[in-house]
């Protein structure tokens, strides 16, 4: 179970990070359920019902949308198959899948729940039943009508699948009400259920293709049939994957005629193809991003993420079992300087004990303080330490794996620790040894942590809940566990907020972790490409979904 939860955290970042290389479990709320216990995405649904054939004014000065053309995207690896029931889709496959398949709902880049096959949903039975109202007249790419039966079949299959059953443990049954309505009955109310299933890319699959057939060897695994904005055309081994416009797509768009994903043997040859204009878009190595700043072919798009980087303490053994020393480190760190020196203009310094994307839950009374070196030293002395003639109270080890990006972070941390009288050494291990040491043996004093605080705010429990898989520091607080559980069960935003504000208050007092940086990305995009998923279209599409992307031929 612990391994699966770690895999899920990595899977949730798959699509998000696929093309963010160059830039370095529900959205804000399953709780956008309103006061009447109902969520009807009226405004966004109205947008999806607009006729895709009509040209529309793009934002700012982009001019009217230009339909047609082919967008060529680089992949640094070859897709193996496209059925999530066979295996988790890889980072490569998940650049293609969002354009072929749909889920009931999806998450945009801001981790907001937005309509997909379900145009709206509502909570009933005190949050224990979720009723999804599906779009009418949706067709599979082979012309067969889509219906609620496909939804039921898909989620029954996911519930019995070894890769997903742990995440659907709270799903009691899926019941078809009529062809456009399906009800999910939960064992208990769970505000995170909807967004977590969307984040894990549980696409709705065609019952008429998979039902009663061998799923593992089904031909559709290699030639997928979905309801999405683009239809699968062909995959040429070692060369490319081609998708074409779905002319009867139920939503807004698509504007492009084709998507072509060209396959490269690694990031470097793919980047070379981008520079040589053999492809329109692709990943950029981190160390090459700033080199493109003076290239007038590109614009730069910056965007955030619910991922947070920080340090985690062993609170049960070692020096930092003393809360005064954890408090001293908090006052001794200049988080903004760390952000500026290590991450430059990507992301922002952390001030809270949750991701700042959850504005409705931020607790300003539990923010992390500004740096105060003298206060840090006083706390260390109160803990019983005396500074030696080398200027240190004590030394400790910072445990990491062998990722190069931790080198710069360690240098800045060591410098700041030194200023408060702590000598910080680095203990660097190969990944499997690192995991064994922090997860199994709890043999460390400080380690680095990267937390994906999405798709729902409840994912913060991964570091704060007593039995969590990545609560490496053995932190345990009954009051914290209670608030985390209550926050997940509540499904109205106004009922959830007090619990997560209390979570931050407890975290500020106990300090099992100190967050340093809210992840951010800076991505170069050729100027003729408009409405990329992480740019102006980011409210309306999922990451790596090119439904609303278009090409300005006049700027090529």
- pLDDT for 144-163, tens place per residue? 999 999 999 999 999 999 88
What per-residue confidence (pLDDT) applies to 25?
31
* 191 and 210 together in one domain: yes
The domain containing residue 197 runs over which residues? 70-261+527-551
DSSP 3-state of 492: strand
Place of tokens 């080199």: 291
**Dist CA 92 CA 96 (whole Å):** 7
* Mean predicted lDDT score pLDDT of the chain: 88
What per-residue confidence (pLDDT) applies to 61?
63
| 353 is a domain residue | yes
* 536 and 402 together in one domain: no
* 350 and 487 together in one domain: yes
Place of tokens 């078809």: 176
| 271 is a domain residue | no
- Residue 502: pLDDT band (50, 70, 90) is very high
| 162 is a domain residue | yes
* 467 and 535 together in one domain: no
Write the pLDDT tens digit of every residue in 105-134. 999 988 889 999 999 999 999 999 999 999
Nearby residues of 467 by Cβ (< 8 Å), 6 or more positions away: none
Strands 446-452 and 394-401 turn out to be: parallel
Place of tokens 């031909």: 219
Label residue 143 exposed, middle or buried (CB < 10 Å: 0-12, 13-18, 19+).
exposed
| 478 is a domain residue | yes
| 243 is a domain residue | yes
* 126 and 171 together in one domain: yes
Half-sphere exposure of 384 (CA within 13 A, CB side): 4
DSSP 3-state of 174: strand
* 102 and 242 together in one domain: yes
Nearby residues of 93 by Cβ (< 8 Å), 6 or more positions away: 79, 80, 81, 82
pTM of the full structure: 0.82
Write the pLDDT tens digit of every residue in 8-30. 444 443 333 444 444 333 333 33
**Dist CA 474 CA 446 (whole Å):** 12
* 461 and 539 together in one domain: no
**Dist CA 203 CA 117 (whole Å):** 10
* 471 and 542 together in one domain: no
**Dist CA 102 CA 89 (whole Å):** 14
The two three-digit tokens of residue 75, written as one number: 């992949």
**Dist CA 141 CA 237 (whole Å):** 23
Angle at 73 between CA 146 and CA 255, to 5 degrees: 50
| 12 is a domain residue | no
| 278 is a domain residue | no
* 353 and 409 together in one domain: yes
- C-alpha separations of 105 from 119, 167, 540, 542 in Å: 8, 17, 12, 10
* 203 and 79 together in one domain: yes
* 388 and 241 together in one domain: no
What per-residue confidence (pLDDT) applies to 404?
66
**What's the number of domains the chain is made of?**
2
What CATH number is associated with residue 214?
3.40.190.10
Write the pLDDT tens digit of every residue in 451-489. 988 889 999 999 999 988 789 999 999 999 999 999 999
Residue among 283, 228, 245 nearest 16 (CA): 283
Least confident of 56-70, 163-177, 251-265, 454-468: 56-70
The two three-digit tokens of residue 157, written as one number: 């299959």
DSSP state of 22: G
Residue 509 near residue 7 (C-beta atoms within 8 A): no
**Dist CA 503 CA 506 (whole Å):** 5
Longest dimension (CA), the chain: 79
DSSP 3-state of 131: strand
What CATH number is associated with residue 385?
3.10.105.10
* 230 and 310 together in one domain: no
| R_g of the chain, CA atoms, integer Å | 24
| 52 is a domain residue | no
- Residue 521: pLDDT band (50, 70, 90) is confident
DSSP 3-state of 315: coil
């Amino acid at each position: 179970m612990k391994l699966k939860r770690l895999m899920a955290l990595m899977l949730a970042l798959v699509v998000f990070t696929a093309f963010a290389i160059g830039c370095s479990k529900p959205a804000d709320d399953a709780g956008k359920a309103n006061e009447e216990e109902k969520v009807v995405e009226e405004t966004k649904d109205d947008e999806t019902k607009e006729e895709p054939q009509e040209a529309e004014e793009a934002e700012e000065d982009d001019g009217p949308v230009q339909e047609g053309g082919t967008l060529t995207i680089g992949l640094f690896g070859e897709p193996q198959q496209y059925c999530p029931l066979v295996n988790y889709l890889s980072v490569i496959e998940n650049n293609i899948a969002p354009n072929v398949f749909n889920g009931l709902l999806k998450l945009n880049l801001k981790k907001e729940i937005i309509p997909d096959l379900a145009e709206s949903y509502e909570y009933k039975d005190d949050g224990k039943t979720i009723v999804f109202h599906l779009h009418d007249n949706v067709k599979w790419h082979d012309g067969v009508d889509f219906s609620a039966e496909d939804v039921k079949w898909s989620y029954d299959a996911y519930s019995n699948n070894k890769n997903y059953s742990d995440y659907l443990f709270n799903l009691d049954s899926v019941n078809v009400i009529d062809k456009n309505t399906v009800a999910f009955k939960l064992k208990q109310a769970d505000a995170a259920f909807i967004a977590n299933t969307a984040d894990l890319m549980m696409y709705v699959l065609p019952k008429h293709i998979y039902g009663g057939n061998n799923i593992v060897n089904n031909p559709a695994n290699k030639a997928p049939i979905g309801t999405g904005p683009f239809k699968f055309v062909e995959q040429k081994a070692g060369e490319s994957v081609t998708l074409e416009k779905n002319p009867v797509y139920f939503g807004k768009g698509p504007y492009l005629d084709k998507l072509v994903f060209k396959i490269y043997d690694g990031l470097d040859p793919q980047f070379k193809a981008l520079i040589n204009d053999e492809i329109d878009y692709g990943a950029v190595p981190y160390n090459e991003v700033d080199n493109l700043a003076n290239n007038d072919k590109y614009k730069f798009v910056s965007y955030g993420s619910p991922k947070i980087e920080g340090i985690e303490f062993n609170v049960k053994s070692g020096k930092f079992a003393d809360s005064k020393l954890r408090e001293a480190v908090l006052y001794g760190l200049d988080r903004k300087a760390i952000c500026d020196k290590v991450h430059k203009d990507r992301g922002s310094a952390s001030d809270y004990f949750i991701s700042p994307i959850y504005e409705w839950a931020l607790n300003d009374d539990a923010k992390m303080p500004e740096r105060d070196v003298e206060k840090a030293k006083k706390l260390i002395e109160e803990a019983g330490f005396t500074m030696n003639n080398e200027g240190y109270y004590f030394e400790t080890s910072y445990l990491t794996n062998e990722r190069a990006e931790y080198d710069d972070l360690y240098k800045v941390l060591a410098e700041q620790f030194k200023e408060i009288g702590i000598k910080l050494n680095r203990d660097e291990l190969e990944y499997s040894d690192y995991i064994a040491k922090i997860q199994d043996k709890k043999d460390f004093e400080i380690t680095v942590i990267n937390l994906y605080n999405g798709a729902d705010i409840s994912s913060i429990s991964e570091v704060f809940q007593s039995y969590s898989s990545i609560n490496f520091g053995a932190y345990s607080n009954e009051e914290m566990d209670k608030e985390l559980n209550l926050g997940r069960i509540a499904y109205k935003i106004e009922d959830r907020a007090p619990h997560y504000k209390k979570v931050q208050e407890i975290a500020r007092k106990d300090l099992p972790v100190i967050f340093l940086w809210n992840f951010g990305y800076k991505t170069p995009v050729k100027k003729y490409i408009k409405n990329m998923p992480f740019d102006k279209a980011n409210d309306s599409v999922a990451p790596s979904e090119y439904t609303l992307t278009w090409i300005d031929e006049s700027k090529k």
